[in-house]
Structure 1
Amino acid sequence: MIRGATSWSLLAWIISFTILTTLVISLRFWSARIQKRRFYLDDGFVLASYVAMLAQIGLGLWGLYHGAGNPSSDYLPEELIVQTKLLVAVSTTWIFSTTVVKLAVLQLYMRIFSTAAFKRWAISLMVVVVCFGITFLVVFITHCHPVSQEWDPVPWGWCRDLKYSELSSISMNLALDTAIVVLPMPWLWNLQMPTSKKIVVMIMFGFGFATIAIMCYRIDQTVHSDPDPMIAIARVGLLSNVELWLGIIVACLPTMAPFFREYIQPGLSTLLQQTIPHHCLVLEARAPEGAVTKCWWL
């Protein structure tokens, strides 16, 4: 049963961001319907990441039901066994989801930028991302030998220090996310569009820096972890979830423009016209035929 203030706080985070990411995913496909476009590969990657995220959420809720977020001393023996099993499962769902959402962003880039040079960079990064996912999937699954060593120990079994696996995966993840966020910036600036729109688009893609900030904080929390291992796992686990939720949101934001143009922009324009007074700036200029008065509506 869920107990303790920390556990209820974790539950609130899970419910809030699950609703938010579900809404964003829905708006992505609503926008696709408005645009009458076909189903792209990056749509499939986002859906796969979302499904893995839901699986991770389910595991997280099961963990909360068995005491996650509480000090080790508050666990029953059978609850500790559940937590060690869940740690393996959550690690695999997380690495799969974060890998696939990176592929979704890179595939979206390749739809936007058609130059051969950009595609070479994007494909190279996709290969690195796939290698990252496969490598750390193996690392997390083989954390103990045998896999059941932590909850069903045998004399000849062993486990690696989880902190080193966490630090290496987060560091590599941080480097990849930074490269993915920075990659399109030079090409974005060269697009044939007004500078103001370029800045808006760059800011939209730049939301990826939020996940980078979360990862930096996650590294700090891993290095300076709580002495109680179960408290430390709960804190780092929340940060890894936030990183994943934000990654899915960032992957969907650039695809949602049709929805905003169709439903939000008209209502916003009407609201601004009704609430913001129009001021006429009268300018008088001299011309050969006489004085000319112009009125600029602000």
Structure 2
Amino acid sequence: MEQHQAYYETSGHVIAAAVVLSVLDIVAVVLRFAARRSQHQALKIDDWLILPATISTVGIGVSMVYGTTQQALGYRTHIPADFAGDPFDVTTYQLATTSKVEFGYSVLLPLTLGLVKSSFLFFYMRIFVAEKKSPINILLVGLIVFVTIWALAFSLATVFGCKLDVEAHWGSTHDLETKCMGSMTVVLLLCITDFAADLAIIIIPIPLVWRLNLSTQNKVAISAVFLLGSVTVAASLARLIVEGRAVNIGFAPGSDSILVITEYIYWGFVELAVAIVAACLPTLHGFLGKYSFLELPKRFKSLFRSHSNGQPWSPDESDRSPAIPHLPAGPVTHTSTEATYATPAIKLRNMESETPLFKPDVVTTSQSRSIEEV
């Protein structure tokens, strides 16, 4: 039975996704750099890591468009009319182009994912780390080392998947099965470990935020900013499900190798594009100001309060204040002699500046009260 062609395996959808998501990534990164410049802050390593990740992702998008124009992606396999043998033994320009696009994608995918994951981790380091010997710094450095090794290992596994016979990657399907052992297993392992790493990276900042001496409302608001990256987890989970099914089907009779490869490339590209946008969102939330989604709960609260009082709703100054506490740049001085409260040895930095929101060890009562009022 002929394989059903899903919407994401059609040429028009592949081109649309490649173009739209590439443009979205470029806009997100440009806004990220503009936000850092408008806040008069030096670019850090987490900012710079996004640049090669974006270039690589856009490059994959360009290769998808090229492959589609050559009918190597988003089209069914064309078997020559005079070919009477096994379809998996045939070698045509269409199939060779498909395999070359897939090879380049498979090499770049883990490297690009590693860059994005490292950007997240370096961002956490900039926000949370107070001392180099602190447990959180040791954890983050360990994860960065792991992600680096992980990315290189899966990229090299693709390059040398057929040992030194590189041309076997774009030979016939049977060549790929016999000369490149374990290629489908590598794909599945990449998807599983990718999802697990994304899940761990998103969870890390949440317990750190909830240890801070803040109101529950502010803790929820800050947590929501970090959880913006959960869209990356959703994308990697979707790819894991789709690729798990594709690996299970494999090159079974009736399956179309070009459609299987199109599916593989499409969902990996979607994950990359979504991950880059998610990595930029924490920096952009303050830059976008009143348009931040964090304002919505306050506006709904004001709307509900006005409705209960029978008064028309209009946003006051308190409604327009940002949900994330912001303190002015520069050293924080304390004139109050009121009692102090111990806080964890975490230096949470303003996401739009390098000014610590809290001193490493104590927060004065007056300062804590001013944070609650923001």
Normalising TM by the smaller chain, what interval?
0.7 to 0.9
Determine the structure 2 residue equivalent to 1:24.
28
Letter in 2 for 1:128: F
User: Does residue 1:204 correspond to 2:219, yes or no?
Assistant: no
Q: How big is the shift at 1:278?
A: 5.5
Q: Show CA shifts across 1:199-252 (max 9, x none).
A: 122222223332223322322222322622211111121111111111111111
Determine the structure 1 residue equivalent to 2:280.
252
User: Does residue 1:87 correspond to 2:102, yes or no?
Assistant: yes
Letter in 2 for 1:71: R
Kindly indicate whether the alpha-carbon contact (under 8 Å) linking 1:31 and 1:257 is maintained by their aligned counterparts in 2: no
The structure 2 residue matched to 1:69, chosen from 61, 74, 78, is 74
Give unpaired runs (5+ residues) of structure 2. Answer: 1-7, 81-90, 250-254, 311-317, 320-374
| Structure showing the higher strand proportion among its residues | 1
Letter in 2 for 1:149: A
Alpha-carbon distance in 1 for matches of 2:231, 2:258: 26
User: Does residue 1:147 correspond to 2:175, yes or no?
Assistant: no
| 3-state SS of paired residue (1:247) | helix
Alpha-carbon distance in 1 for matches of 2:108, 2:220: 35
- Which TM-score applies when normalising by structure 1? 0.82
Kindly indicate whether the alpha-carbon contact (under 8 Å) linking 1:101 and 1:251 is maintained by their aligned counterparts in 2: yes
Q: Show CA shifts across 1:165-192 (max 9, x none).
A: 1001111111111111111111011234
User: Does residue 1:58 correspond to 2:62, yes or no?
Assistant: yes
Alpha-carbon distance in 1 for matches of 2:196, 2:78: 37
Alpha-carbon distance in 1 for matches of 2:307, 2:242: 53
RMSD: 3.0
Q: How big is the shift at 1:107?
A: 0.2
| 3-state SS of paired residue (1:223) | helix
Q: Show CA shifts across 1:85-105 (max 9, x none).
A: 111111112111110010000
1:1-298 pair list within 5 angstroms: 6-67=10-71, 68-73=73-78, 77-115=92-130, 116-145=134-163, 146-151=165-170, 158-225=179-246, 227-261=255-289, 264=291, 281=309
Alpha-carbon distance in 1 for matches of 2:169, 2:135: 48
Alpha-carbon distance in 2 for matches of 1:112, 1:49: 21
Determine the structure 2 residue equivalent to 1:286.
none
Q: How big is the shift at 1:69?
A: 1.2
Kindly indicate whether the alpha-carbon contact (under 8 Å) linking 1:92 and 1:137 is maintained by their aligned counterparts in 2: yes
Q: Show CA shifts across 1:243-263 (max 9, x none).
A: 1111111111111134223x7
184-193 vs 110-119, greater mean Cα deviation? 184-193
Alpha-carbon distance in 1 for matches of 2:169, 2:285: 48
Q: Show CA shifts across 1:2-54 (max 9, x none).
A: xx981111111112211221221121111111110001111111111111112
Q: Show CA shifts across 1:107-135 (max 9, x none).
A: 00001102412111111110110110111
69-78 vs 97-106, greater mean Cα deviation? 69-78
| 3-state SS of paired residue (2:78) | helix
Letter in 1 for 2:170: W
| 3-state SS of paired residue (2:43) | coil
**Given the superposition, is the C-alpha separation of residues 161 and 197 from structure 1 closer, same or farther in structure 2, using an over 3 Å criterion?**
same
Kindly indicate whether the alpha-carbon contact (under 8 Å) linking 1:42 and 1:103 is maintained by their aligned counterparts in 2: yes
| 3-state SS of paired residue (1:73) | coil
Alpha-carbon distance in 1 for matches of 2:285, 2:13: 33
| Structure showing the higher helix proportion among its residues | 1
Alpha-carbon distance in 2 for matches of 1:209, 1:258: 19
Letter in 1 for 2:28: V
Letter in 2 for 1:34: S
Q: How big is the shift at 1:196?
A: 2.0
Question: How many residues in Structure 1 have an aligned counterpart in Structure 2?
Answer: 273
- Which TM-score applies when normalising by structure 2? 0.66
Determine the structure 1 residue equivalent to 2:335.
none
Give unpaired runs (5+ residues) of structure 1. Answer: 283-296
Q: Show CA shifts across 1:116-170 (max 9, x none).
A: 12111111110110110111011111122311113358x9x81124221100111
Alpha-carbon distance in 1 for matches of 2:101, 2:31: 32
